[in-house]
Amino acid sequence: MKRSCKVVSWTAAILLAVLVIALVMIATFNWNRLKPALDSRISQAIGRPFVIHGDLSVAWRHDASAGWLRDLLPWPEFTARDVSIGNPAWAAKPDFARLDALRFRLSPWPLLAHRIVVPSLQLVHPDVYLQRDRLGRANWDFTLPPGGNVVWKLQLGSVGFDRGQLALDDASRKIQLQMTIEPLQRSIPYEQIVAQQAAAASAQADRIAGAAAGKAVGDLGTPRAVSPAAAATHYQFAWQAVGSYEGKPLKGSGKTGAVLALHSDTQPFPLQADVRIGDTHIALVGTLADPLQLDALDVKLWLSGPNMALLYPILGITLPDTPPYATAGQLSAQLHRQGSHFSYRDFHGRVGGSDLAGSLDYQAASGSHTRARLSGKVSSKLLQFADLAPLIGAGTARAMPAADATAQRTGKVLPVAPFRTDRWRAMDADVQLTSAHIVHGSTLPIDALVTHLVMDNGVLTLDPLHFNLASGAVNGGLKLDGTQSPMRGVLRLDARHLKLNELFPGLAPMRTSFGEINGDASLDARGNSVAALLGSADGELKLLMNDGAISKTLLETAGLNVGNIIIGKLFGDQTVQINCAAADMQAKQGLFDMRLFVFDTADAVINVTGTVNLATEQLNLDVQPHTKGVRIFSLRSPLYVRGSLGKPDVGVQKGPLLLRAAGAVALGVIAAPAAALLALVAPSHDSDGKNTCRTVLEQLRNSGQIMPATQAATAVKARAKKPVRK
């Protein structure tokens, strides 16, 4: 035999012997000897105690999914029994987690670079305790302090689950939670779970929002098309949870997948949850990819409950008080330490009897952005005015739970529910709201609402605020400064070309009416409720109505209790044609002074003087009717209006006949307000361009006899005392 062949043969034999000896040593090696070293390395990598209390064993397995070499050669799979992972020193319990067993595969070559690479990890009967204290420290945060001399680093591939328990104690969010996890008898496809949750959420929405709206919400939809990877996932575990959230009882259930891939966006982890916190219902179905970065949370989200404002302690998003609601949409999220971002896309649903749709983005506070920010667009085909009432402080008792509602003062009409300005400073907003149609019962149709809501550091602005009403238009803006105490409110509105015959379509006398209404409102006020704002208002209100009709029925429809009683006293229940109605009121500290308030009818001129005090809701008005002929003899007697807005007292004045005579001579009108109201006589949409109020106001302004009633009475007395020249 040649020498070279002998060398090769001996070399092969030696290598084979070494391999056999190595295999024998590995097979007979007591792996428990490695426990101290393994405990030390992992503890250093995660920054807290890691201890294997039981045996450490190895099984050799093939893994075709890891490549041809792993399929050809067996690979070690370690099983560590009775494992504990410790907590930081500040935690209430010593252990973060306790497991019956921990199965993991270990890549040997990265160990040379002080890296512990675990391609797969299986948790057997885990018992996990999660805690976050009032300072915001969380025991699930394994980030090591900066500047530490960390030699070993841990990298996990995927985590598999088994039945187990989880407890959560979050002092900063006031969450107490106990959760159990059990394997399903069989895996359930992703799309089947989606269909089940969509049906359940729609039924729940029909019960809550449908009852308030008087109609069913209908199908809230199924998720949009998902990726093939998401569609291929299966749910293999079910969970149950009980506890409390912000002091409210919490109960929930759901399903998850079996393996959580920590560094893969091609293996989404399926999630499903159905949770009730108090009266609020939250349901979701979707997937989570790349859990360590949390960059790809994509779920179908259903929300329903009695009041959107109750979502503030749950989601941290400032929303107004509302009637019962139900919505469905697609939620995607990127959760980072530097600030989380949520997108609620293509949502639709109902709030009371109103429908809503749109897309919203929420950026959590972070770094230089000290406040969270909500932005987006919301649209509606039909909004019920009753559903908007809580936004202006009305109807709050229905929208809010009894514990949060502010009791209305006995005998008072103006809402006293305070605006929640403390929440305004917690979040900024930039939302565009549009609505095709708004109704107030069967009357007062409003079309084409367009407004831009901006919340900036506690200052709420609606600008522009535009809507069409009765073939006319209302434009203006509203600003509420919640940073001031009491809050400052500024309102600017102008109404042009409101058609009388369209203003109350359900009222028969109005169907044959014609003419227009124009008006301006400019108010500056301070207060933390509607009542307080109106009770401190400074500014002006101007209104002009020409060629209309007025009746008790009309005023009842409009909700004008005082006017209803006055018209009933003067004319009975008949409809009275109005040539012109003009009003000019000046407000100072909530006291509205009638500088000019006159009705010109075919039979009489009615002049109203006095004040309305919205701070006390007290009335102090005098109504002077001036008959144009002898047809309405009863109108000779003037009226008084006293009492409150809720209970007005209207009666016949018992003043001297001299004042009645004075009222017959003068209308009690000042020329300056009449001239100012001429600016409201906008060009009419009618082809003939006629406007009765222009003629009436010109006569009032130019008449030499025009003076206040008291001045007229003085003039009559003076003429009576003056000697007659011969």
Q: pLDDT digit string (tens) for 636-664?
A: 568 888 888 888 888 877 654 434 434 44
Please report whether residue 652 resides in a domain.
yes
**Domain identity same for 215 and 161:** no
Please report whether residue 261 resides in a domain.
yes
Please report whether residue 499 resides in a domain.
no
Structure confidence at residue 394 as a pLDDT band (50, 70, 90):
very low
Q: What is the dihedral of CA 332, 338, 339, 342, to 10 degrees?
A: -10
Assigned token pair, 549: 């009709």
Q: Of 20-34, 164-178, 235-249, 253-267, where does mean pLDDT reach its minimum?
A: 20-34
Q: What percent of the chain has pLDDT over 90?
A: 21
Structure confidence at residue 679 as a pLDDT band (50, 70, 90):
confident
Q: For residues 482 and 424, is the Cβ–Cβ distance under 8 A?
A: yes
User: In terms of pTM, does the model score above 0.85?
Assistant: no
Please report whether residue 1 resides in a domain.
no
State how far the Cα of 565 lies from the Cα of 554, in Å rounded to an integer.
12
DSSP alpha helix (H) spans, 48-131: 68-72
SS3 content of the chain, % helix, strand, coil (to 5): 25, 45, 30
Structure confidence at residue 364 as a pLDDT band (50, 70, 90):
confident
Q: Which residues contact 466 (CB under 8 A, 6 or more apart)?
A: 448, 449, 450, 451, 473, 474, 475, 476
**Domain identity same for 40 and 131:** yes
State the maximum Cα–Cα separation within the chain, in Å, rounded to a whole number. 170
**Domain identity same for 592 and 695:** yes
Higher pLDDT among residues 180 and 317, named by residue: 180
Please report whether residue 65 resides in a domain.
yes
Higher pLDDT among residues 572 and 178, named by residue: 178
**Domain identity same for 109 and 203:** no
- Give yes or no for residue 186 having a pLDDT over 60: yes
**Domain identity same for 348 and 206:** yes
Question: Taking the CA of residue 196 as centre, how many other CA atoms within 13 Å lie in the half-sphere pointing to its CB?
Answer: 14
**Domain identity same for 166 and 189:** no
Please report whether residue 9 resides in a domain.
no
Q: How many domains does the chain have?
A: 3
Structure confidence at residue 692 as a pLDDT band (50, 70, 90):
confident
**Domain identity same for 291 and 389:** yes
Chain-centroid distance, C-alpha 153: 44
State how far the Cα of 617 lies from the Cα of 632, in Å rounded to an integer.
32
Q: For residues 257 and 269, is the Cβ–Cβ distance under 8 A?
A: yes
Boundary (domain end) residue, out of 442, 458, 485? 485
State how far the Cα of 85 lies from the Cα of 321, in Å rounded to an integer.
45
Boundary (domain end) residue, out of 485, 504, 532? 485
**Domain identity same for 201 and 335:** yes
Q: For residues 307 and 277, is the Cβ–Cβ distance under 8 A?
A: no
Chain-centroid distance, C-alpha 666: 55
Question: Taking the CA of residue 55 as centre, how many other CA atoms within 13 Å lie in the half-sphere pointing to its CB?
Answer: 5
Q: For residues 274 and 252, is the Cβ–Cβ distance under 8 A?
A: yes
Q: Which residue has the tokens 């770094």?
A: 367
Please report whether residue 501 resides in a domain.
no
What is the reported pLDDT for 628? 67
The tens digit of pLDDT for each residue in 303-326 reads 888 888 888 888 777 777 888 888
Assigned token pair, 82: 């009775």
Strand, helix or coil at 382? coil
Question: Taking the CA of residue 349 as centre, how many other CA atoms within 13 Å lie in the half-sphere pointing to its CB?
Answer: 30
Residue-range definition of the domain harbouring residue 566 = 548-721
- Give yes or no for residue 475 having a pLDDT over 60: yes
**Domain identity same for 132 and 228:** no
CA geometry: angle at 277 spanning 276 and 283, to 5°?
40
- Give yes or no for residue 242 having a pLDDT over 50: yes
Please report whether residue 494 resides in a domain.
no
Q: Of 196-205, 246-255, 276-285, 654-663, where does mean pLDDT reach its minimum?
A: 654-663
Boundary (domain end) residue, out of 485, 507, 523? 485
Structure confidence at residue 253 as a pLDDT band (50, 70, 90):
very high
**Domain identity same for 106 and 197:** no
Q: For residues 8 and 14, is the Cβ–Cβ distance under 8 A?
A: no
Q: What percent of the chain has pLDDT over 70?
A: 67
**Domain identity same for 377 and 357:** yes
**Domain identity same for 348 and 390:** yes
What is the reported pLDDT for 220? 54
